[in-house]
Amino acid sequence: MTLIRTLFLRRLAALGAGIALALVMQTSWAQAPELEKFTLAGWSKPITEITNLLAEPDLGFFRDQGLALNYLPGAGGGDALRNLLSGQADVAFTDPGSFFAALDKGAKLRAIYDIYPQNVFNVVSLTSSGITKPSDLKGKRIGVYSLSSGTRQNLQILLQQAGLSEADVTVVVTGLLNFVPLIQGQVDATAATDTGLALARRRGLGDVNVIEVAKYLNYSSDLFVVRESTYQHDKDKLRRFIAAYRRSVEWMISDPERAAQLAVRRAIDGQDPALNAEIIAIRNRASVSELTRRLGLGVLNLDTLQAAADAYLKLDLISRPITIRDVVAVDLIPRAE
């Protein structure tokens, strides 16, 4: 009986310990904050340019802010805004032109963060063409990705700065492989992005003349945009999102080598670490400006955005004036002192 009683007490003690451990674990789980789902609608597929976002499973910038980040791929800034307006996303990664167009159609939106305060568009020509400035484009054939692309819109802005319009040139739709028609002489120049030019050079483009749109109107290339209702009711979540994104940008700027290696695993176009490093360096440069160096990453430049909105109106890309101060948020980003 003594042996049976001893075994019984040992089993009871073990059972009690198990129950106690379960209670401790249950309490621990209950105390662990549950991550809030947060969807970012992008303009692109998961490409090297956005390695700072693709690094989330490895580095957890958004997880540290209590957010479970979901990246929703898109095919252009307009696509990102459609996903936002349909309720599939909390924030859109989009371009100012798409933002202006949506506002023009009556959408209630706010820009909350300047992703790339530098204009990344350019017009490229072979050195043999003699095209070195916007006025030289008169009478020339110029390639654009599509008639609804940022390449066309920024070409129009560049022409406008030189007192020209699309009536003074011939616009040719080339698709994304826009440098092939340039090399083959089907166009005299082609509108592109800085990363598109870098890729073409790596593939043997050769010597070219580059007219940077930023030298004539340097306004943001991409913004974070939210629905007005989200801005009014979810400011805490948006502040946490911005804090996480800023940390991810700071990381990619401070450790571009690791970012280039990580892109090999995370980006669909990241097979070449050397090319990754070049693209990441370009995007790092576009992420900062004189204003953000003084006031902090993401601070919106209301003056240049207003100039861009005014230029879009003059070009009939939008039908009514946009007052930028009414459609941006300046209270979500903590500013550097």
226 and 114 Cβ atoms separated by less than 8 Å: no
Report pLDDT for 76: 87
Report pLDDT for 178: 85
Distance linking the first and last C-alpha atoms of the chain: 78
Report pLDDT for 253: 98
Instruction: Please state, in angstroms and rounded to a whole number, the distance separating the CA atoms of residues 21 and 24.
Output: 5
Which residues neighbour 189 within 8 Å (Cβ) at sequence distance 6 or greater? 123, 124, 125, 129, 131, 137, 140, 141, 142, 143, 182
One digit per residue, the tens of pLDDT, for the chain of length 337 reads 454 444 444 554 444 444 443 433 333 333 447 999 999 999 999 999 999 999 999 999 999 999 999 999 998 899 999 999 999 999 999 999 999 999 999 999 999 999 999 999 999 999 999 999 999 999 999 999 888 788 999 999 999 989 999 999 999 999 878 899 999 999 999 999 999 999 999 888 989 999 999 999 999 999 999 999 999 999 999 999 999 999 999 999 999 999 999 999 999 999 999 999 999 999 999 999 999 999 999 999 999 999 999 999 999 999 999 999 999 999 999 876 5
Instruction: Please state, in angstroms and rounded to a whole number, the distance separating the CA atoms of residues 229 and 171.
Output: 39
pTM of the model: 0.86
> What is the three-class DSSP state of 287?
coil
Structure tokens at 240: 């946490």
- CA 48, distance to chain mean position in Å, is 11
Report pLDDT for 337: 55
Report pLDDT for 28: 33
Instruction: Please state, in angstroms and rounded to a whole number, the distance separating the CA atoms of residues 319 and 70.
Output: 34
